Amino acid sequence: MAAALLANTLYSLGFVLEKRALTALPEVSIRQPARLLRLVIGSPLWIGGSLALAAGFAAQLVVYRTLPIAAAQGIFVSGLVLLVLLSARLLGEETSGRERYALGAILLALLMVVLSLREGSDTVSQDAPYQLILLVCVPSLAAGLWLYGSAERRARNRHRRPTTGVEYGVAVGLLYGVSSLAIKGVSSHLTTSGFGGAVLDLLSSPYPYLLLFTGVFGLVMSQAALQRCRASLIVPVCTTVTSLFTAVLGTLSFGEALPDEPLRLALRVAGTALAVAVLLTMPKHDPAPQPPAPAKELASP
């Protein structure tokens, strides 16, 4: 639990710092990845955000070694509360009344997931068949890249309405979902006795290569999308897709059983479903600005 909350804090802080750094940079594009990387690496604020995200990744490794996938995703979703608060404070992104109600519902979902946990009684799987992992991950990566490319083509069409960022969030969320499964796989190989044996065992698995692919492409795609959209909009969409992908396909792939007790099972399933449902119904774009009220004419004497 402590590692999960720490990961939430680091991820939220990292996204906000990167967003603030990107707003001060020239427009970036995935069609010029070398230029994008050169610009962001030259920003100390962006480097700070990246270090926070890297530390969150390390904390996530600890979580996946101690909690089932479904329970971990329910806790990770709660980090969006902190993200929205930091976005409002550091980026000036105001939250509407509807978004604040949604945050309260996410907190309730977190409480339900926490109440469903019982130390020593939940199954934490350590590995999955490689063929099954590739069968799940490869089509998901292809779908994410295709969806992102489609959103880019629509955004460049001057006759189209401006993109809301939902397509970007879904596309990046699919890549990060695969990355989350790879992190789970890497964490399972770290239990091998002996450093040399653990490294050889890990390199013979698909997990480090999936992690490398999603890390490189996810970095370029997420930075271009984050610069164009509100962090408090695109990150919740991305996190929703990642959590749903990981909780459903990850639990099935790694063969982790849900709680046997009916009450704990209901709390686990309902808490995760509530968190995902709330995020799916959050506003996907900012309301249109209201035109200024016309000035009143002075009455003639």
Per-residue pLDDT of the chain (301 residues; tens, 9 = 90+): 778 778 878 888 888 899 899 988 898 888 888 888 899 989 999 999 999 988 988 887 787 777 776 667 667 766 777 787 778 777 777 766 776 777 778 778 777 776 776 655 555 556 678 888 888 899 999 999 999 988 888 777 665 555 557 788 889 989 988 988 888 788 777 665 566 766 777 788 888 899 899 988 888 888 888 888 878 778 877 877 887 787 777 777 777 667 778 888 888 788 878 877 876 776 555 555 555 555 555 444 4
Residue 285 burial class via C-beta count within 10 angstroms: exposed 0-12, middle 13-18, buried 19 and up: middle
Question: What are the structure tokens assigned to 13, written together?
Answer: 């802080």
**φ, ψ at 34 (rounded to 5°):** -65, -45
- Lookup: tokens for 104: 């309260």
Backbone angles phi, psi at 141, to 5 degrees: -65, -45
Q: What is the DSSP letter of 283?
A: -
Residue from 253, 33, 243 nearest 138 by CA: 253
Which residue from 28, 86, 107 is spatially nearest to 230, judged by alpha carbons? 86
Cα–Cα distance measured from residue 186 to residue 189, given in angstroms and rounded to the nearest whole number = 5
Structure confidence at residue 122 (pLDDT): 56
Instruction: With beta carbons less than 8 A apart as the criterion, state whether 140 and 178 touch.
Output: yes
- Count the neighbouring beta carbons within 10 Å of the beta carbon of residue 252: 13
Q: How far apart are CA 41 and CA 37, in angstroms?
A: 6
Calculate Rg over the CA atoms of the chain: 21
State the Cα–Cα distance between residues 80 and 242, nearest whole angstrom. 13
Mapped onto helix, strand or coil, the DSSP state of residue 60 is helix
Q: How far is CA 161 from the centre of its chain?
A: 26
Supply the DSSP symbol for 281.
T
Amino acid, single-letter form, for residue 107: L
CA distance 176 to 77: 14
Determine the pLDDT at residue 45: 92
Residue with tokens 């940079």: 25
CA distance 103 to 84: 9
Residues with Cβ < 8 Å from 177, sequence gap 6 or more?
Answer: 140, 241, 242, 244, 245, 246, 249
pLDDT at 145: 92
